[in-house]
Amino acid sequence: MKLIWVLFGITLLALVAYGFWRPANIRDTNGDSREMPTETKNSFLKSTNYSTNADTREASKLYKNYKGELSITALRDSLVQFAQQHQGLPYQEAGLKPTGFDCSGFVQYTFAHFGLEVPHSSALLAKEGEPVPLSAGRKADLVIFTGTTIADRTPGHVGIVVNNGVNGLEFIHASSNGGVKISKVDSTGYAQRFLQVRRVL
């Protein structure tokens, strides 16, 4: 009988240890520290309905406000090229400039360079534009993830799509683990944290 209780105790300990280890084992521990508005949390928990019209009215709102001379395709390319020039810059909580960025601060800074205003909040960025399937993500789309608590399926991290080809979707973001860098969704912890892609341009 004593042996049964010992085995039970070891099993219980192993389960508790696994519960603590699993979230910590995700390679990038990045999250957005700003509190999400309650209405955003509630609306985001509803199922995502992909628009069949993701290149029109809402999705092009930012481009309609664009004052430059680039075509929308050239703007997407230029935006991604500009973002890539910042690889290696440091992460800083609530950071908005090249001395240090957080995830949404980096997105805001990149878009602002082209005169495009987006919010400094992953929760609010998750409401911009129109949702599109992961397989349809393209340059300059936003990719939205949970924070480090995967069970909390609300926005907590954001990046900008760089490429979506044979290696799957790749995105550039300000990470607490390495600063501004390019990461993949497929076969990484981001696959578990993925929420949606948003077409804003």
pLDDT in tens, 126-165: 999 999 999 999 999 999 999 988 889 999 999 999 999 9
Q: What is the mean pLDDT of residues 46-66?
A: 59
Look up 120 and say whether it is catalytic: no
Q: What is the mean pLDDT of residues 65-70?
A: 87
Choosing from 86, 103, 113, 120, which is the catalytic residue? Answer: 103
**What is the CATH class of 28-199?**
alpha beta
* Complete DSSP assignment for the chain: -HHHHHHHHHHHHHHHHHHHHHHHTSS------SPPPHHHHHHHTSPP---TTTTSTTTTHHHHT--SS--HHHHHHHHHHHHHTTTTPPB-TT-EETTEE-HHHHHHHHHHTTT----S-HHHHTTSSEEE-GGG--TT-EEEEE-S-TTS-SEEEEEEEEEEETTEEEEEEEETTTEEEEEESTTSHHHHHEEEEEE--
Choosing from 86, 113, 120, 157, which is the catalytic residue? Answer: 157
Q: What is the mean pLDDT of residues 169-197?
A: 95
pLDDT in tens, 72-96: 999 999 999 999 999 999 999 999 9
pLDDT score at 65: 81
Local confidence band at 15 (pLDDT 50, 70, 90 cut-offs): low
pTM > 0.85:
no
Domain ranges of the chain: 28-199
pLDDT score at 62: 82
Look up 113 and say whether it is catalytic: no
Choosing from 86, 113, 120, 173, which is the catalytic residue? Answer: 173
Look up 157 and say whether it is catalytic: yes
